[in-house]
């Protein structure tokens, strides 16, 4: 007997949760032997944590999460997946998790080469792009996509098969993403002549040079856009201006250096490109809600 789509989704989510739980050795985010696939588990809500989302698909099997991009909030759960189609500085927070029902999720990196190959093989997929769209979006999960995701995770139990079969499952997942209502956002990013693709190039340029002074005219020439078009399109895609984007990269990297490598605030600020420690402290407090020293104490006490 064929299951109702809602019942089918519930069965699939139960299997997905079991697969994730079985393959995470401890709390936190863990890479797997399948390239580009990471699994996460946590048994309690988390503090807001800055991170850099590279192009990826995020699916939750249990729990709920909030992701912030600039002033915007995105919530997703077992019924809705999240996609970042370009590299974005975001703040993520698990908002629903308990020891009895832990937060369980997966992150699958999006391979632009595979997206290009799919478009070359399948021809036009999805709707024409009406203009620049946010590079972060939430959409409804359907049983067909979830079935492909589950088949990918099952390969963790048979590593000998994964090298051959994992790319096939990933290809199907990306195909279904392209066929989704938001699929045009991915399609535009790999089309060399599109303005979205040029914005993606600008984003990667800033990521490679975030610790250097940013000159908009130079960046505009690099991606073959006018300065005004670059600014307008960049903000439409990322919710941030190029300078705001660079500032977020700098502050998040400085926070990582202080937390992970125990650098002092002044050293971290110089490392990421700040010339004034007082300006760094002001902007840090504005983004994270506390000056660097107090923020580090809060993070370490939370751990």
The whole-number average pLDDT for the span 201-217 is: 95
- pLDDT over 90 at 3, yes or no: no
Confidence of residue 4 (pLDDT cuts 50, 70, 90): low
Higher pLDDT, 124 or 24: 24
- pLDDT over 80 at 110, yes or no: yes
Among the ranges given (1-15, 56-70, 239-253), the one the predictor scored with the smallest mean pLDDT:
1-15
Confidence of residue 188 (pLDDT cuts 50, 70, 90): confident
pTM exceeds 0.85 for this model: yes
Q: What is the pLDDT of residue 263?
A: 94
- pLDDT over 90 at 5, yes or no: no
The whole-number average pLDDT for the span 115-124 is: 81
The whole-number average pLDDT for the span 224-234 is: 94
Q: What is the pLDDT of residue 303?
A: 60
SS3 per-residue string spanning the chain: CCCCHHHHHHHHHHHHHHHHHHHCCCCEEEECCCCCEEEEEECCCCCCEEEEECCEEEEEEECEEEEEECCEEEEEECCEEEEECCCEEEEEEEEECCCCCCEEEEEEECCHHHHHHHHHHHCCCCCCCCCCCCCEEEEECCHHHHHHHHHHHHHHHCHHHHHHHHHHHHHHHHHHHHHCCCHHHHHHHCCCCCHHHHHHHHHHHHHHCCCCCCCHHHHHHHHCCCHHHHHHHHHHHHCCCHHHHHHHHHHHHHHHHHHHCCCCHHHHHHHCCCCCHHHHHHHHHHHHCCCHHHHHHHHHHHC
């Amino acid at each position: 007997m064929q299951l109702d789509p809602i019942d089918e989704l519930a069965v699939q989510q139960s299997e997905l949760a079991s697969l994730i739980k079985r393959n995470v050795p401890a709390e936190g985010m863990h890479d797997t032997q399948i390239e580009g696939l990471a699994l996460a588990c946590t048994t309690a809500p988390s503090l807001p944590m800055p991170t850099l989302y590279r192009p990826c698909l995020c699916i939750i099997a249990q729990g709920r999460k909030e992701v912030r991009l600039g002033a915007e909030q995105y919530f997703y759960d077992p019924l809705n997946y999240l996609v970042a189609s370009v590299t974005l500085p975001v703040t993520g927070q698990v908002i629903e998790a308990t020891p009895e029902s832990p937060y369980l999720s997966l992150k699958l990196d999006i391979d632009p080469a595979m997206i290009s190959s799919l478009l070359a093989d399948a021809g036009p997929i999805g709707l024409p792009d009406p203009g620049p769209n946010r590079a972060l979006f939430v959409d409804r999960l359907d049983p067909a996509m979830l079935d492909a995701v589950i088949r990918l995770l099952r390969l963790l139990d048979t590593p000998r098969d994964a090298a051959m079969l994992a790319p096939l499952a990933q290809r199907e997942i990306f195909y279904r993403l392209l066929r989704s209502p938001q699929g045009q956002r991915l399609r535009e990013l790999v089309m060399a002549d599109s303005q979205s693709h040029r914005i993606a190039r600008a984003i990667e340029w800033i990521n490679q040079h975030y610790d250097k002074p940013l000159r908009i005219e130079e960046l505009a020439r690099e991606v073959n856009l006018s300065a005004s078009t670059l600014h307008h399109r960049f903000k439409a895609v990322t919710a941030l201006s190029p300078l705001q984007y660079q500032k977020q990269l700098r502050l998040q990297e400085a926070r990582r250096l202080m937390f992970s490598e125990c650098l002092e605030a002044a050293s971290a600020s110089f490392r990421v490109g700040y010339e004034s420690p007082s300006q760094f402290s002001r902007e840090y407090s504005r983004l994270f809600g506390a000056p660097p020293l107090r923020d580090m104490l809060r993070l370490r006490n939370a751990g």
